[in-house]
Amino acid sequence: MEKAYAIIVVLVIGGLFYQRIEQPQPIIVQEPIAVAQEVVIEKWAVTTSPHSAVSVEKINEVIGILQANGLTKQGTAYLTGNFIAESHLIPCGNYGDGGLAQGLAQWHPGRRYDMPCGLVEQIEWALNVEMPRDAKGMGYTNLSETLKDPSATPESLLVGIQKYERYGIAGNRRWYGEEILKQLGA
C-alpha cells in the first residue's frame, strides 16, 4: 500500500492565522484479482478393446496415464497398441522371449534393471527414464519426444516405436493403435 501524506494548508484571513490540516486518506492500490477458471480437459477413452485379453478399463487407465504425461492422441494410441502387443498391459509378472523379457514393453534385463512394477510408475519410467536413455545409447530420436509431438506422423511414430522396441515381427501393434485412435477421434 502506498503512503499518503498530510497536506497542510495555511491561510491568513483578516490578520488571523488559520491552519487546517487535512488528514491523510489511505490510497488503496488494488491488485488484479486472480479468478479461478475451470478448465475442462477432455478425457480420452475407448469403448471397445482391440484385443480380447485386454479389458477396456485397463486400456482407458493406460490412456489416462499417457494423456496426463503429455502424449498426443496418436502417440497415446500407437504406444498403447504396442504395449497391448507386447504384454497385454500387464506391467510385471508377464515374461516373454523365453522368460527373459518383462514389463509393458517386454524389456530384457539389461534395459529394465531399474524398472518399477506399478502401472503408473512403469509408464512414467518408460517415458522419462528408459526412452531417453535408450535413444541416447542407440543413437536415435527420443521416442517420448516424438510421442508428444503434434506434428508427428503415424509413420514416424511407428518407426520410433520399432527402433525403441527392436521387435522382429510387427504383429498387430499397428492395427491395435489404429483401432484405439479411431475411438479417440483423431
**What does the block give as the cell for 114?**
531399474
pLDDT beneath 70: ranges in the chain: 1-36, 39
Amino acid at 92: C
Q: What is the pTM of this model?
A: 0.78
The pLDDT, as a whole number, for residue 7 is 41
The pLDDT, as a whole number, for residue 17 is 47
d(C-alpha 157, C-alpha 138), whole Å: 17
The pLDDT, as a whole number, for residue 99 is 86
Domain spanning 56-184, CATH class: mainly alpha
Q: Is the dihedral of CA 83, 86, 88, 94 positive or negative?
A: negative
Backbone angles phi, psi at 36, to 5 degrees: -70, 125
d(C-alpha 22, C-alpha 17), whole Å: 16
The pLDDT, as a whole number, for residue 9 is 42
Domain ranges of the chain: 56-184
The pLDDT, as a whole number, for residue 5 is 42
Q: Residue 96: helix, strand or coil by DSSP?
A: strand
- Please give the distance of CA 10 from its chain centroid, rounded to a whole number: 69
